[in-house]
Structure formats: structure tokens, C-alpha cells
Amino acid sequence: MDYGSCSSLPNFNALNYAEYWPVRNYIARPLAQKWTVMLFLGTCLLYCARMAMPICAVNMATTFGWSKTQSGVVMGGFFWGYCFTQVLGGHVSDRIGGERVLLLATTSWASITACTPLLAQLGISSLTSMTVARFLMGLLQGVHYPSLASLCSQRVDEGERGFLMSTMGSGSYMGTLMVGGLGSVMLERYGWESVFYGAGLLSGLWSLTVWRFLLRGQMNTIQVLSSHGSSSGLSKKHWLKMFKQPSVCAMVFAHLCFSSTCYTLMSWLPTFFKDTYPHAKGWMCNVIPWLVAIASMISLNKLIGVFLSLLIQFMSMGVSSVFLLLLCRPLSFPSAVIFVSAAVGLATFNSSGVSVNVQDLAPSCAGALFGFMNMCGAFTGLVLVYVSGYLIEVTASWGYVFSLITMVNTMGLGVFLMFGEANRVDLWNLSQVTRV
């Protein structure tokens, strides 16, 4: 990796070596393997809980008498909460360790998920109670990916980061697959409440397992990690300097566009299939695209060293949008499932594009920077989910939604292709690494 000319580097004779090069400990391989499995399962359950509402939205709308716009408000409530804890979650993770933040947050949103059916039975309006529940879910889940980014940059070897982030991406699609398949069956047999109970209880079991076997005895001895190399050590001057870099701005904008379109698809695809193909089996459209996504992610893990990040991002945001445009015209149910599966499968490439780029550009503050990126993506996702619901209700056409998603993806891809790079920009925060 190119670190620029020698003149830009500090005079080490004039510096305290220990202060400028803070020691950062990597997780030993046996423990790292256990953490990889648990983080995969944790991300899987995160999406089981997150996608419970979109899967149940049609049934809940029928039960409570919601319009498409009101359904969009309920699902959009998640992104309001998701916006607020992104930067905070990354900052705290950079300071005390992403694994601890993940455990505390998962325990909290698991409780909210399990209690969602109970909140719907309160005396207040179901629209209000469910929107508040989604807001709290977003608030608590907002720290997940910034914590993962922080954990990855602080404790994972640079050569293994792409694999870890791709594995976590596989977990998100596996979770969507689980709630789409098993959740659809539970929805039909036991009602929408069972989906929330199941996701909440399984997530609580994950938290208990992590605390019991991986973190027990460590929660009371929180230690600040790499204080000189964390985001808290960055001055306002350094943050401004970093955001003046075109590569950083391009990365943030591309992530913003991709996240907003991804959130919109995940929120509205179950409703799209339910409205357009009412007699088709729900489990097929809720399972097949995510099976393709998992297969695509596994294949990508073997190709990371071959494809450049720009090409990967082109596949993720460019080629996938072509398949979404094909959904704008009337199609048979099998064709629609094939095109959606292709679009979702190609979108998984983002996990080895922009998502890893943040660790290349600024590993010392990856958690906080990724949190900022996710905050921007969540806010635009909130707007796009609501606008999509409005367009569907006013025009009665899904073509406008898929065209809007394609336009947003194209803008983000264009900026990233023009200005995206992988050269590190936080050269004032370089740190020495040792393996334990």
C-alpha cells in the first residue's frame, strides 16, 4: 500500500515510539474462529429480527387497517433510530472494544423484538406503538456494523478483513433467508406474533452464549483500546482533513446510495410479491433470492484477490440495477424471482467493495467513520422507504420504485468509480501491530 512520500512521515527520533505506535493486539486464530462463527450467527439473527416487520407487514396492515403510506411510516421508523447510534456506536467500540458493544446491544434489541406483539396490544394506537418499537429496534441495531468495522480494524489481520466482512454479509442474507422461509411458515400457521417471539428468543440465546463462553469475566474490566490510534484521538482538524479527501467522500456517498436502495428493497420486496403475485407461494419469493445471495457471497470470498474493489462495486451497484429495471414491465412469477435473485446476489459484492474500503482508508477510526457512513445511509434509506410507499400508493405501479432505486445506485456508482481509492488517509494515526 502506498503511504506517500517519505517527507510526509514523522521524525521518529523526535517522537516517543510507544506513543506514536500504540500496540494493537490481534485475536489469536483459534479464538478468532469461534468469534467468526458467533459473529456470523449474530448478524444472521440481527436480520431475522430486522426483517420480521417487512415479512409480516401485509398481515399486520390487514389486522390494523394500515395503508401503504402508513406501512411505510412503520417500517421507516427503524431508520430514524438507526441514524442516531451509528457514530456513537463506532466511537464507543473504538474505545472499549466492538465485542462488548455488540453483546450489550444484541441483548437489548432481542428484548424489544420479543416484546413487539405485546406492545401492539397496548391501549395506544397500533400505528404509534409499532413505529416506536421499530424506532427502538433501529436505535439498538444501529451499533452493529460500526462495532464490526471497529472490531475488524482493531483485532483482525489486514489480509483477513475482506473474508470476515464477506462472512458477516453472508450472515445478513442467511438471516433474511431464515425469516423469509421459516418465518413465512410460522406466519401462516401461528400468526405474525410468532415471528417476533421466535426471532427475539433466539437472539437472546445468542447473547447468553457469547457472554457465557467468550466474554464472561471481561465485562467488568473494560479497557480502553489503542487510545492514540482510536477515533477519540482524532482532532477536529484531522477529521476535516480526512473529509477533504475525494476518496473518502466518494466512499461515503457510494455507501449512502447502496444502503438506501438496499433498505428499500428489503422493506418492500415481500409486499411487491404479495401484491403482484397474490396466488404464488410466499416462501419461494422470500427464500430463493437470499439463497442466491449466500451462494454469491461464498463465491466472492474466493475471488476477492482477483477483482479490484472498483470492479466489485460496479457489479454490486451497476449490473444489479439492470435486473431491477427488468422488473418495471409485466413478468411471470418465475421471471420476477429470477431477476430479483440476480439483483440481490450481485448486491452482495458490496461487502468486499465499499464496506472494506473504509478499513483501507482509515483503519484507526474505522468504527466511527463506518458509523457516519451508515448514519447517512440510514437517513436516506428512511426517506427512500417512505417515498417508495407513497409512489406505490399514488401510481399503483412498482416500476417507479425500481426506476428510482436504479437512479440512486447509478449516481453512487458513478462517483465511486471516478474518485474511489484504497490509499490510506489517516497517516497521522499509524500504529504498530503485534499478534498474541
User: 206 Cβ partners below 8 Å, 6+ apart?
Assistant: 38, 41, 42, 45, 106, 110
Tell me the mean pLDDT in the region 197-210.
94
Alpha carbon distance 210, 219 (integer Å): 11
Lowest-confidence segment of 67-76, 214-223, 262-271, 412-421 by average pLDDT? 214-223
Cell (9 digits) for 40: 456470523
pLDDT at 374 > cutoff 50: yes
* Predicted confidence (pLDDT) per residue in 263-288, tens digit: 888 888 888 888 888 877 766 777 78
* Predicted confidence (pLDDT) per residue in 67-88, tens digit: 878 888 888 788 788 888 887 8
Q: Is 65 exposed, middle or buried (0-12, 13-18, 19+ CB in 10 A)?
A: exposed
pLDDT at 234 > cutoff 70: no
Say whether 234 sits in a helix, a strand or coil: coil
Q: Given CA atoms 146, 147, 149, 154 in this order, what sign does their dihedral have?
A: positive
Domains of the chain plus CATH, in order, are: 21-224+235-425 (1.20.1250.20)
Tell me the mean pLDDT in the region 363-384.
79
pTM of the model as a whole: 0.69
* Predicted confidence (pLDDT) per residue in 18-50, tens digit: 333 344 555 556 666 788 888 889 999 999 999
Distance of CA 374 to the CA centre of its chain: 8
* Predicted confidence (pLDDT) per residue in 297-346, tens digit: 666 655 544 346 667 778 888 888 899 999 888 888 889 889 998 888 88
pLDDT for the residue 158: 61
Q: Closest by alpha carbon to 41, among 266, 205, 192, 196?
A: 205
